[in-house]
Structure 1
């Protein structure tokens, strides 16, 4: 049996590779959906000695199948946001403590002690979006910050503006985190010039506003908040880890997460660094579901392991990788 918490001890590429291959074997043997997918590709752990040869499960499977590798009780089901006309993804989590450790350790790695920040969220509150993994994470970080001003402000932008100005005047370290459309609303209604606030967008217009390319979005937000950089969070319902960008849309993963890029025309071929293709994610915190996911995002990976997201596939299906989705 694999020790899931051991992922947080990973320090080198070789340690990551070793653990990833063990997780692949474990999920091949314990995840019925993933095993069926591997069987259809005629890929067996005995033949896989390299990370690039591990099959990546199309992310749509989280909409059409129960993707789980554990026999333990499901503690929480995270559900993606969607309209009445779209199927939502469901991520069955059997170890919430693993998720909490993943996002707490990642935050501390990139930003330091959570207690040093006031967390202001322009996101739906926990009660409004109980099934959101992002809301769960931010709600937990707000409680961990233990600051009286920390909280959700989506429906009260005027109060949020006043709070931001008061905290900035006191030289308080603040993290303002929110979905793109809400940050744009705030920046347009209440232009500010902030000196001690980190602005972090989590993506998502959710049909509320016209989609913008990252550079245009960040330019508007930088002008609206008077800051030099916009930070970003890369995460999704189907992952229990996050990557963060400190600016320019270049993301860095924690040591137990890695991004690769696949050929858009041949889903089983991994591209060289710098070449644009489909984003594949290895998230070892997903040990109890599926750690190897082919997303619908397009991007590129750089030689130092950082990556950027350029857009999404035009169509819902990922070509060459939808053997069992229908």
Structure 2
């Protein structure tokens, strides 16, 4: 058995199985796009502030965004157009009109697509490289100009994310104490025991691990050493994207994940290996940019996604390019 990805793997599996035509998922660090890649469907993460987060249980407040999963670009984009737009109940939601769906283009003439070399390391899975090379060739045939670009701080994205997100989660999830907020597990002899029982029963091992990491990096003596430096690196990662877009690039294209779906339980004993599967998706969250995954092929029968990362609030351009590529890419064929 293979994992469907996470954390919105359940949403992705339901869409892939045809149980529902589309589903929502919360995206903090690739939690919509990674499952989309693993399950062979489309996943869209909008710009931070494009969609209201009202009603979402906060994990990483500066990263969280509601995304959409669908069996086609049109299905996912249509749902996004419905849920996007201003909402006075969410202070992080931008005062913008809902997304307007672009038409399906005949070509990508006039588009400039950047291929960041940092996303194609020497040790990249050969099947992933073949699938992406084929997709890039098809983008050229569609009329897009393709150029190599550099996002030099990409190698620091995963450690940056896994400092900032747990720190915010530690703060956000502290409210779940069983006394004022969240489920209460009875039988505790005192308040401290109630807190321990509630958090022990209510949070799984991975969530507890992240809360511990977040509490550690926010503690006295470690805030400057870890959290402040992570925020500085986040600013540099965002600046990398601005530099690329300022030079005339419209979109960036990368693999969504470094491998297809891995076996269930395969990485449970090695959290770092599991975190590294997010290495191509967390940058868009750190920079607050729109990104989406569409199927581009298979490796030994397992689906694989290619990722577009766009400019802030220009989801329409990203969706337009995805429409065009989806029409020609042999998503069900071996890479």
TM-score w.r.t. structure 2 length?
A: 0.25
Instruction: Pick the structure with more helix per residue.
Output: 2
- Which protein is richer in strand relative to its size? 1
Kindly indicate whether structure 1 or structure 2 has the higher relative contact order, using CA contacts under 8 Å at least 6 residues apart: 2
TM-score (norm 1): 0.26
